[in-house]
Amino acid sequence: MKRYLICSGKGGVGKSTLSVCIARALCARGKSVLLVDCDVGLRSLDLLTGLGQSAVYTWQDVVSENCMLSDALLTDAVGRLSLLMPPAVLFEPISAEKFSQMLEKAAVDFDFCFLDAGAGVDGIVPMLAQASETALVVATPDSVSARAAAKTAEMLWQILPPERLRLLLNRYSVSAVRDGINLCADDMIDETGIRFLGAVPEDAGLRVLPCGKGIASRTASAFDRIAARLLGEAVPFSVRKF
Ligand SMILES: Nc1ncnc2c1ncn2[C@@H]1O[C@H](COP(=O)(O)OP(=O)(O)O)[C@@H](O)[C@H]1O
Ligand SMILES: [Mg+2]
């Protein structure tokens, strides 16, 4: 099971939206994916996946051995996408070792795991980075988000080798770049120092997850291309169509 941390210094840049949509794109390619909502106190993946209704336990219960992993997993009808809910508060500090042990239990059943972090570079985010193989840093194409991503990278470089950090640009719009409103992909790469993984266009359809009605085909294709790259396919980079 490949373990990815989805993070950013800044809130509201699309970490949770991208976690769900990339996970679904991988599921559409036949992979099984575990989403772990790591935004302690401000969960959202239950709403974005529609999987929260029957939740009883959180990953804190699994780590603290209050329940089995299988008791806490919420799984979709197809059986490929599962969710672990976060606690509202942490009762005690969680070590990366214990968190990793929980993920190891999941490794037999899942191909991919996404740890959807909350905003910021402190709290449990360094612990989550230690429990991950790769960090996907999400940023929108503007200078404030670029600064937050650069700060996030500084923290991550203490934990992961530089090549294990990848940049996901969200809400990318070629016309906004042309009009000087947004930074272009090259500028974002230069300002953050993070290797590019992919870009997702601005798309109002993404605001109505989990049904996903109205997601543009170019957005669906952007998620599919990111999924393909995570599966090791050499997919050319292009943001020209956004
Ligand atoms: N590509 C996009 N186009 C339009 N809206 C988006 C896009 N990505 C995210 N959003 C919206 O931005 C808001 C914040 O997204 P969210 O995933 O909750 O961010 P985070 O997890 O980083 O706090 C949500 O209202 C979401 O629907
Ligand atoms: Mg979020």
Report the pLDDT value the prediction gives residue 53, as an integer from 0 to 100. 84
- Give pLDDT < 70 ranges for the chain: 211-212, 239-241
Q: For residue 17, which ligand has an atom nearest its CA?
A: 1
Which numbered atom of ligand 1 lies nearest the CA of 11? 23
Phi, psi of 115 (to 5 degrees): -100, 105
Residues ≥6 apart with Cβ < 8 Å to 151 = 9, 121
Give the distance (Å) from ligand 1 centre to CA of residue 12: 6
Which numbered atom of ligand 1 lies nearest the CA of 170? 1
Report the pLDDT value the prediction gives residue 211, as an integer from 0 to 100. 66
Give the distance (Å) from ligand 2 centre to CA of residue 38: 9
- The answer to whether the CB of 60 is under 6 A from ligand 1 is no
Residue 41 region, left (φ>0) first, then alpha (ψ -120 to 50), else beta? left
Tokens describing residue 122:
């402190």
**Dist. CA 58–CA 88, nearest whole Å:** 9
Report the pLDDT value the prediction gives residue 52, as an integer from 0 to 100. 87
Residues ≥6 apart with Cβ < 8 Å to 211 = 50
Report the pLDDT value the prediction gives residue 212, as an integer from 0 to 100. 64
- The answer to whether the CB of 141 is under 6 A from ligand 1 is no
Give the distance (Å) from ligand 1 centre to CA of residue 207: 7
Q: Which CATH number fits domain 2-230: 3.50.50.60, 3.40.50.300, 3.30.450.20, 3.80.30.20?
A: 3.40.50.300
Across the chain, the runs of DSSP E, i.e. the strands, are 2-7, 33-38, 74-75, 81-84, 112-117, 134-139, 165-172, 195-201
Q: Whose CA is nearest to atom 27 of ligand 1?
A: 207
Tokens describing residue 77:
């009808």
Encode pLDDT of 68-114 as tens digits: 999 999 999 999 999 999 999 998 999 999 999 999 999 999 999 99
Look up the pTM and report it.
0.97
Domain range list for the chain: 2-230
